[in-house]
């Protein structure tokens, strides 16, 4: 036996190099197979040799260009193309010369919808169960889109399309959005040749946080609306492609910031709507509902649901409320009209260059329903913090600034509900048609023979398969070394060819923050889950959309068997697509947070002058904990000045700067700025430190607005600690702060800068970028 054992060991030693050689040969052959073999001739001299070049690859002959146009936060009743009173002549024209899809659906919120759109898979299936800045360590929620479910951009790129993305992306993991990458989940790593846009959910329309490809794009000083900037860049990309590579088609993904807050628009578009909405939101709902029936995009026997019980009747409002709310709606509508105009420039360019007839345009009017805002709308954070009755008068004092770069606006909830006509509820209500039912337009002159209306059920995951089908492209088995999994959605080409065809997408789940639903063959079961409450107490509703398309009549008690069938089906689909565990927002620690940033839980962070801007939620997180920020300055002289560190902008933020020979700190809370400052600084080497000693305010469960079962909120005026500044370890100023001031990471429409303040200024004591003119060695952030 020992002899046999030794013989096996010797055989193993002999076989090992043979096996290694076999593996090497197989690998070498595989590498040779991936590159075309040389077909020329190699001689000793040039005259004895023959040149050979690989043939240039092309897309399928006659393959069309593809344009995806995605509008943000637009309900079914916004655009005039679907009966709304926001004028969109470009979309109207595309719809009139193409197809209106009246039964199209999204996921109810932006990031998940975009993930599903680009991949053709359900949002939990590609790990985007909610936002990238609310990621949790579960497969359906970690915001790390898997490489075996490639984007439509990667698929078209493999089929020799040039690919471009402009506008909102919102899919890259937070901790990867820095100039150090990795970049494989950035747009350029997910199939796009070029990207020009922003990474988070919204941005200021005049001072946007832009990136081009993998770099921060500093466009300041800027006066152009971001929709104009996006259209300019898209046309440039197309012009470059048309000039340099005219034999191949292109794919353009245009994701506008309209009409997500902040609502801002050029004056000429706002002026078009002066006085147009003075009749109010009840009139708007009735008018739009009638227009939708006339267009044939809702059933002729449809009934308009009651106004949401949280919305007052327009006639019950005061004159000042009506004046304020009407002004809000003028800006809201102007923003969409401007986006439509800018997209129209792209359509006109395609027409002028002879490309429009062979271009597929898929325009989605909303990645979800209109947003559920606040009763009075928003102008800035300070006014929002006032008691409700004071907000109206305070906002009206700024009426001339509405829609400008000085505003951070969102429309009142009465208007956003009205723009969801004919449905109930709002964005993020994934259980409801009001959150998920959006218009789709498909325009393709060479591919659509029968124009008009299509009523087949469809979902955002059907778009990518439809593009593959219409373009005649193929999905490679392997992309970037990853074997690809099939689409979850199905092509809509059958419905393009036959308006009477039966729906092929017959089952679809919805889930977002615990609000969930399941659709099957026109029936729908749904749950409106209240954040922070026990899932076991949720009550399911049941609707027959075949006869009640806008969910007015709950049949749950009448048809318990159908309800059970659908609830069981939801459970099956949830397990299949990574929906579990259910998460409603009370478990994830809120937006951002140290665990999601690029720096994680590092106790000490050192930043150096010249570093690119960090997005607020990707950079060092400063909220609700004690910390210090120290600027080390060498050889300071009395003429040196500028920003040392800035976080945020003119609506919220924190800035450490030197001016007039003093170390100053500006703390901006909703445009109200409080200051700390030193006496004149000595020359030489300086350590300038800002320090927060944080005291967590006590939550009050017995507050008048407390919701049973939900986490109580602190009083915003309760003490939350002290802010201090030090010069060379000597405390020179201090002040107490309250809970309402603790938001150092402001709304994420601005970012974090070292040695300057880009985009917009935290303080009006300086103008951007106010670069520090002295010798700043570094910025050190330490958590206490």
pLDDT band, residue 594 (cuts 50/70/90)? confident
pLDDT band, residue 715 (cuts 50/70/90)? confident
> pLDDT tens across 191-204, in order?
999 999 999 999 99
pLDDT band, residue 306 (cuts 50/70/90)? very high
Asked whether the predicted pLDDT for residue 446 surpasses 90, the reply is yes
Query: Can you tell me the distance from the alpha carbon of 473 to that of 365, in angstroms, rounded to the nearest whole number?
Result: 26
Confidence at residue 745, expressed as pLDDT on a 0 to 100 scale = 57
CA distance readout (Å), 411 to 274, 331, 375: 16, 8, 9
pLDDT band, residue 35 (cuts 50/70/90)? low
With beta carbons less than 8 A apart as the criterion, state whether 79 and 365 touch.
Answer: yes
> pLDDT tens across 495-523, in order?
999 999 999 999 999 999 999 999 999 99
**Residue 174: strand, helix, or coil:** helix
pTM above 0.95, yes or no: no
How large is the average pLDDT for residues 699-709? Answer: 46
Query: Can you tell me the distance from the alpha carbon of 754 to that of 757, in angstroms, rounded to the nearest whole number?
Result: 7
For residue 468, the 8-state DSSP code is H
For residue 95, the 8-state DSSP code is H
State yes or no: cis peptide before 259, omega within 30 of 0. yes
Lowest model confidence (mean pLDDT) among 90-104, 153-167, 414-428, 612-626 = 612-626
Asked whether the predicted pLDDT for residue 30 surpasses 80, the reply is no
**Residue 606: strand, helix, or coil:** strand
Query: Can you tell me the distance from the alpha carbon of 65 to that of 69, in angstroms, rounded to the nearest whole number?
Result: 13
| Beta-bridge partners for 511 | 516
pLDDT band, residue 714 (cuts 50/70/90)? low
CB atoms under 10 Å from CB of 535, counted, come to 12
With beta carbons less than 8 A apart as the criterion, state whether 549 and 457 touch.
Answer: no
Asked whether the predicted pLDDT for residue 700 surpasses 80, the reply is no
With beta carbons less than 8 A apart as the criterion, state whether 326 and 277 touch.
Answer: yes
Rg (CA), the chain: 29
H helices of 547-628, in order, are: 560-576
Instruction: Work out the mean pLDDT of the chain and round it to a whole number.
Output: 92
Asked whether the predicted pLDDT for residue 182 surpasses 90, the reply is yes
Q: Give backbone dihedrals phi and psi of 628, rounded to 5 degrees, phi first.
A: -135, 150
> pLDDT tens across 398-424, in order?
999 999 999 999 999 999 999 999 999
Which is more confidently placed, 75 or 717? 75
Pairing state between β 652-659 and 662-669: antiparallel
Which is more confidently placed, 12 or 644? 644
How far the first Cα of the chain sits from its last, in Å, is 67
How large is the average pLDDT for residues 320-331? Answer: 98
Confidence at residue 713, expressed as pLDDT on a 0 to 100 scale = 58
State yes or no: cis peptide before 470, omega within 30 of 0. no
Query: Can you tell me the distance from the alpha carbon of 755 to that of 522, in angstroms, rounded to the nearest whole number?
Result: 58
Confidence at residue 417, expressed as pLDDT on a 0 to 100 scale = 97
Cα-based torsion angle of the residue sequence 372, 419, 107, 379 in order, rounded to the nearest 10 degrees: -40
């Amino acid at each position: 036996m020992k002899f046999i054992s030794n013989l096996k060991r010797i055989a193993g030693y002999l076989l090992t190099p043979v096996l290694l050689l076999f593996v090497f040969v197989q690998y070498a052959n595989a590498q040779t197979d991936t590159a075309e073999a040389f077909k020329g001739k190699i001689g000793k001299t040039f005259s004895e040799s023959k040149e050979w070049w690989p043939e240039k690859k092309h897309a399928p002959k006659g393959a069309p260009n593809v344009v995806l146009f995605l509008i943000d936060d637009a309900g079914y009743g916004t655009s005039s193309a679907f009966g709304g009173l926001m004028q969109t002549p470009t979309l109207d024209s595309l719809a009139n010369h193409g197809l209106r899809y009246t039964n199209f659906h999204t996921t109810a919120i932006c990031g998940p919808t975009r993930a599903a759109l680009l991949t053709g898979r359900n949002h939990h299936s590609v790990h985007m169960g909610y936002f990238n800045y609310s990621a949790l360590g579960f497969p359906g929620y970690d915001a790390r889109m898997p490489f075996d479910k490639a984007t439509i951009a990667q698929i078209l790129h493999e089929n020799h399309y040039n690919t471009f993305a402009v506008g909102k992306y919102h899919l890259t993991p937070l901790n990867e959005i820095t100039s150090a990458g990795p970049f494989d989940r950035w747009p350029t790593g997910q199939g796009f040749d070029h990207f020009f846009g922003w990474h988070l959910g919204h941005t200021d329309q005049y001072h946007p946080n832009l990136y081009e490809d993998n770099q921060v794009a500093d466009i300041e000083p800027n006066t152009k609306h971001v929709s104009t900037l996006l259209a300019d860049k898209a046309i440039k990309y197309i012009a470059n492609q048309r000039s340099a590579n005219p034999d191949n088609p292109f794919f353009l993904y245009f994701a506008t910031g309209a009409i997500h807050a902040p609502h801002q628009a050029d004056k000429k578009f706002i002026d078009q709507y002066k006085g147009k909405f003075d009749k109010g939101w009840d009139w708007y709902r009735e008018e739009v509902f009638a227009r939708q029936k006339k267009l044939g995009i809702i059933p002729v026997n449809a009934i308009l649901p009651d106004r949401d019980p949280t919305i007052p009747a327009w006639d019950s409002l005061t004159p000042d409320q009506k004046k304020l709310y009407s002004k809000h709606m003028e800006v809201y509508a102007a923003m969409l009209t401007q986006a439509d105009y800018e997209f129209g420039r792209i359509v006109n360019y395609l027409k002028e260059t002879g490309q429009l007839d062979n271009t597929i345009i898929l325009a989605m009017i909303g990645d979800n329903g209109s947003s559920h805002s606040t009763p009075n709308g928003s102008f800035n954070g300070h006014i929002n913090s006032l008691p409700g009755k004071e907000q109206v008068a305070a906002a009206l004092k700024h009426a001339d600034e509405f829609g400008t770069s000085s505003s951070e606006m969102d429309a009142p909830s009465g208007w956003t509900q009205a723009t969801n006509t004919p449905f109930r509820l709002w964005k993020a209500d994934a259980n409801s048609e009001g959150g998920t039912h959006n218009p789709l337009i498909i325009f393709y002159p060479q591919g659509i023979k029968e124009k008009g209306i299509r009523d087949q059920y469809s979902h955002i995951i059907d778009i990518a398969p439809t593009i593959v089908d219409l373009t005649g492209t193929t999905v490679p088995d392997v992309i970037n070394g990853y074997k690809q999994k099939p689409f979850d959605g199905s092509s809509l080409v059958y419905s393009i060819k036959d308006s009477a065809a039966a729906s092929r997408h017959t089952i679809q789940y919805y889930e977002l923050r615990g609000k969930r639903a399941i659709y099957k063959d026109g029936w729908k079961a749904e749950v409106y889950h209240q954040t922070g409450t026990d899932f076991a107490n949720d009550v399911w509703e049941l609707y027959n959309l075949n006869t009640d398309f806008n969910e007015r009549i709950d049949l749950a008690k009448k048809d318990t068997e159908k309800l059970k069938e659908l609830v069981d089906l939801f459970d099956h689909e949830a397990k299949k697509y990574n929906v579990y565990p259910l998460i409603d927002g009370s478990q994830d620690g809120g937006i951002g947070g140290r665990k999601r940033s690029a720096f994680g839980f590092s106790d000490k962070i050192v930043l150096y002058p010249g570093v690119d801007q960090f997005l607020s939620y990707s950079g060092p997180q400063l909220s609700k904990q004690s910390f210090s920020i120290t600027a080390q300055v060498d050889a300071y002289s009395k003429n040196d000045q500028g920003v040392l560190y800035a976080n945020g902008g003119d609506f919220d933020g924190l800035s450490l700067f030197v001016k007039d020979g003093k170390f100053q700190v500006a703390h901006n809370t909703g445009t109200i700025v409080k200051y700390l400052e030193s006496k004149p600084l000595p020359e030489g080497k300086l350590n300038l430190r800002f320090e927060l000693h944080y005291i967590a305010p006590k939550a009050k469960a017995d507050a008048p607005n407390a919701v049973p079962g939900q986490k109580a909120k602190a009083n915003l005026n309760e003490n939350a600690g002290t802010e201090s500044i030090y010069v060379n370890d000597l405390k020179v100023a201090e002040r107490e702060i309250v809970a309402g001031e603790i938001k150092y990471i402001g709304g994420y429409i601005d970012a974090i800068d070292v040695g300057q303040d880009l985009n917009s200024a935290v303080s009006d004591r300086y103008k951007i970028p106010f670069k520090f003119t002295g010798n700043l060695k570094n910025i050190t952030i330490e958590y206490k």
